[in-house]
Amino acid sequence: MHAAARDYVARQVEAFGPFSSVVEIGSRDINGEVRDLFGDARYVGLDLHPGPGVDWHGDASRYRPPEPVECVVCCEVLEHAPAWSTLMQRAFEWLAPRGVLIVTTAGPGRRPHSAIDGGWTLHRGEHYANIDATHLARVLRAAGFPVVTTSSAGRDTRAVAVKG
């Protein structure tokens, strides 16, 4: 994860936290992580593949937390997930009332990169599509979030959404 994405998450945690429980979608540490930003929170990292930072591996859309969580964080994942709108719907479902979703993703103009190894070459069958702030906001509102703030910075798209 690049420094600007991590800094965005840190600012949102400072603004909305602290959180006692967090689920991270796409937690495998390929090039940086955010788990340490959440202090002593109960933290579950989800990823398609086992590896560093992963507590549960498989299709994140099939995960069900044992109880609602205060925060869902999803960094640099959506551009790799063809069904990313389903992940955003699940995030809404997992959150407790007033829970917060924090998202960073590749925006328009970002060069394709692999979710498997972080390299610049996509592997056979690997999905990649940049996501703009308007589309992300539309998907988050459709998932049920009444409060959504999206932004673009350079080639990044970011969002914070609060469950009503």
Residue 20 and residue 127: Cα distance in Å, rounded? 33
What sign has the CA pseudo-torsion 59, 143, 104, 10?
negative
| CATH number of the domain within which 11 lies | 3.40.50.150
Domain enclosing residue 111, as ranges? 3-162
46-61: pLDDT as tens digits: 999 999 999 999 999 9
The pTM of the whole model exceeds 0.85: yes
What count of other Cβ atoms lies within 10 Å of the Cβ of residue 111? 9
Reply yes or no on whether the pLDDT at 106 is more than 80.
Answer: yes
What's the total number of domains in the chain? 1
Q: What backbone torsions phi and psi does residue 119 show, to the nearest 5 degrees? A: -75, 175
pLDDT, tens digit (0-9, with 9 covering 90-100), for 45-98: 999 999 999 999 999 999 999 999 999 999 999 998 999 999 999 999 999 999
